Amino acid sequence: MANSETVKNALKLFASIWPRDMAPKAQADQVRAYSLALEDLTDEEVTTGAVIAARTERFFPPPSSIREAVRPKTNDSIEATARGARAYDRIVERYEYGHSVGPIEIAEAIDDEAAHAFMAAGGTTAFSWCEPGRDQEFRRLRFMDAYREAYEDGAAQRLILGANSGKQISHAEAVKLLDKIKGDE
């Protein structure tokens, strides 16, 4: 759970970019409101999310911008399911036509998440021989669970600092930037 000092530092960062004249009581109320809205995030997530929001938002960011910067949206889970289903079908199709593929070929032809899920579902052994019916259902469930997990882990690691920049930010970098802005460096 993020403490109010972390939230206050995030708001100071935003105020240095988007200056506002606020009475001390209004500032305290804002810190309380943001703290309440972000209470399920860690200090690390709030700090990282604030720096990302500061670099990507056009206006003073609401709490949702901080959250979305560090937590994948529900749409990511839906997309992961759809991508996983397509990947699974492509792998099964290859085996049905008598072509044996391994995780390296899958990573090259589909993506890394599919290769991870392929191995989690039993790899070549599970895909080259599988009894029709129940075995296929369990293999597919294992594959889909592993694909969603790998996809969502990858989405969390793909935090970008700017539109199409491709740069990632770590918690240590975010803290360093905040300290620099506060003048502690």
Q: Is the pLDDT higher at 17 or at 125?
A: 17
Residue 134 is predicted with a pLDDT of 61
pLDDT tens digits for range 55-74: 888 899 999 899 888 876 65
92, 140, 141, 148 from 145: Cα distances, Å:
17, 9, 6, 5
What does the buried/exposed string (b/e) look like for 11-28 if buried means 16 or more CB atoms within 10 Å of the residue's CB?
bebbeeeeeeeeeeeeee
Kindly state whether residues 94 and 44 are assigned to the same domain. no
The mean per-residue pLDDT over the stretch 45-53 comes to: 92
- The model's pLDDT over 8-19, given as tens digits with 9 standing for 90+, comes to 999 999 999 999
Q: Is 178 domain-assigned?
A: no
User: Do residues 48 and 90 share a domain?
Assistant: no
Give the separation between CA 157 and CA 170, rounded to whole angstroms.
9
Locate 97 and state its tokens.
Answer: 């036509």
Task: Count other C-beta atoms under 10 Å from residue 112's C-beta.
Answer: 14
96 is in which domain, residue-wise? 74-156
- Quick one: 87 and 67 in the same domain? no
Q: How confident is the model at residue 124 (pLDDT cuts 50, 70, 90)?
A: confident
Name which residue leads in pLDDT, 134 or 159: 134
- Determine, yes or no, domain membership for 182: no
pLDDT at position 29: 93
178 within 8 A of 5, measured Cβ to Cβ: no
Domain annotation covers residue 66:
yes
Q: What is the DSSP letter of 69?
A: H
What is the band of 159 on the pLDDT scale with cuts at 50, 70, 90? very low
